[in-house]
Amino acid sequence: MKKFEYMEKYGYEQLVFFHDEATGLKGITCIHNTQLGPSLGGTRLWNYDNEDEATIDVLRLARGMTFKAAAAGLNLGGGKTVLIGDAENVKSEGYFRALGRYVQTLNGRYITAEDINVGTKDLDFVNMETDYVVGLAHKSGNPSPKTALGAFHGIRASLKAVFGSSKIEGKTFAVQGAGQTGDFLIGYLREAKAKKIYFTEINDKHIKKINEKYPDVDFVKPDDIYGLDVDVFAPCALGAVINDKTIKQLQCKIVAGTANNVPEDEEKHSQALKDKGILYAPDFVINAGGLINVYHELQGYNENNAVNDIKKIYDRLDAIYTIARDNDVHTQQAALMFAEERIKLISRVRSNFVKRG
């Protein structure tokens, strides 16, 4: 792939390849943009078919983090690391300590965290070698409940935009996926007196778990979740679930959940939702609760402060819906405008000389 051409087109700062002879660690760190602050993004371990596939993934994910952090009001830029390897075979203390040493060489321009196949136990090893790692078990811990909490407030903002009231009470919901985030989201919705909640799952253990915990929450088969006559469809499982096939089936007024990359084609399917009169809560805005939570580790973790910041997802979505209305654009586009505007503004604010310390 033509790496410099791609980097120039989308404004990337840095792409770093690294290899550790002792452990076989092979990885790529990408720093997309640091105008707001150090880049932050998790490390993903995946058995990529080839180096180009890994490179494209890290570039795409790092850029996504820039917009996610900017829209979340954080002083962070976007970055990401991918490791090329089979998670079943490569993981060891040495492997993750080697990763930590490479993270340290970037001298704080990039901060890592967990992602697919890299958990808090692995990060403990990374932490032995670098100061630039967050999401540690003994600090902010598992981000999933906080991601779900952010989605809950995002759903409230979306209800306000559609029905004029943010009340969960009296509204109906279809939750796709009852894993870590879906389970917590169902809990928050029940607590707020949702009128009816349906869920779907493909994992029998999780179906049993929800049936036992919440007997009033009804299971539906995976393919039946899209066509339910509910107010909110909450995707909390996979990406690309909003596509040509599913949009036709949707009866809901709002799509708002924790999943990443919800529209299969960001432009086409965000527009299709708008055309159908369905409000879409842009994924990277509504699911930023976990990121906001780990960000608080950088300033000494305090759960109350983190939760207060996570609640602001409500106001950010409110502002994004206004931009979408005023400019007659789909909400994904409005969210990008919102994030870009903040990056531009803060860069300008910081362009003068100020002596500190």
Binding residues (CB under 6 A) for ligand NAD: these are 143-144, 147, 176-182, 200-203, 206, 222, 236-239, 258-260, 287, 290
Do the Cβ atoms of 70 and 343 come closer than 8 Å? yes
The tokens describing 164, both together, are 């004029």
200: phi then psi, degrees, rounded to nearest 5: -135, 155
Residue 22 CB, nearest distance to ligand NAD (Å)?
A: 32
Question: Nearer Cβ to ligand NAD, position 73 or 290?
Answer: 290
Strands (E) located in the chain = 14-19, 26-33, 39-40, 43-46, 77-84, 110-111, 172-176, 196-200, 218-219, 232-235, 254-255, 279-280
Residue 57 CB, nearest distance to ligand NAD (Å)?
A: 14
Residue 68 CB, nearest distance to ligand NAD (Å)?
A: 9
Question: Nearer Cβ to ligand NAD, position 106 or 217?
Answer: 217
| Maximum alpha-carbon separation in the chain | 61
Question: Nearer Cβ to ligand NAD, position 25 or 254?
Answer: 254
Question: Nearer Cβ to ligand NAD, position 99 or 237?
Answer: 237
State the residue number with the nearest CB to ligand NAD.
Answer: 179
Alpha-carbon gap, residue 308 to 25, rounded angstroms: 39
Residue 44 CB, nearest distance to ligand NAD (Å)?
A: 11
C-alpha distances (whole Å) from 149 to each of 12, 162, 314 are 32, 20, 11
Question: Nearer Cβ to ligand NAD, position 64 or 77?
Answer: 64
Catalytic residue among 2, 9, 68, 80: 80
Residue 328 CB, nearest distance to ligand NAD (Å)?
A: 29
Alpha-carbon gap, residue 76 to 67, rounded angstroms: 10
Residue from 80, 55, 53, 82 nearest 65 by CA: 80
Residue 225 CB, nearest distance to ligand NAD (Å)?
A: 7
Alpha-carbon gap, residue 295 to 98, rounded angstroms: 24
DSSP structure class, residue 234: E
Coil, helix or strand at residue 19: strand
Residue with tokens 């371990």: 45
Annotated catalytic residue 2:
no
Question: Nearer Cβ to ligand NAD, position 8 or 224?
Answer: 224
- Cα 189 to its chain centre, rounded Å, is 20
Please list the active-site residues: 80
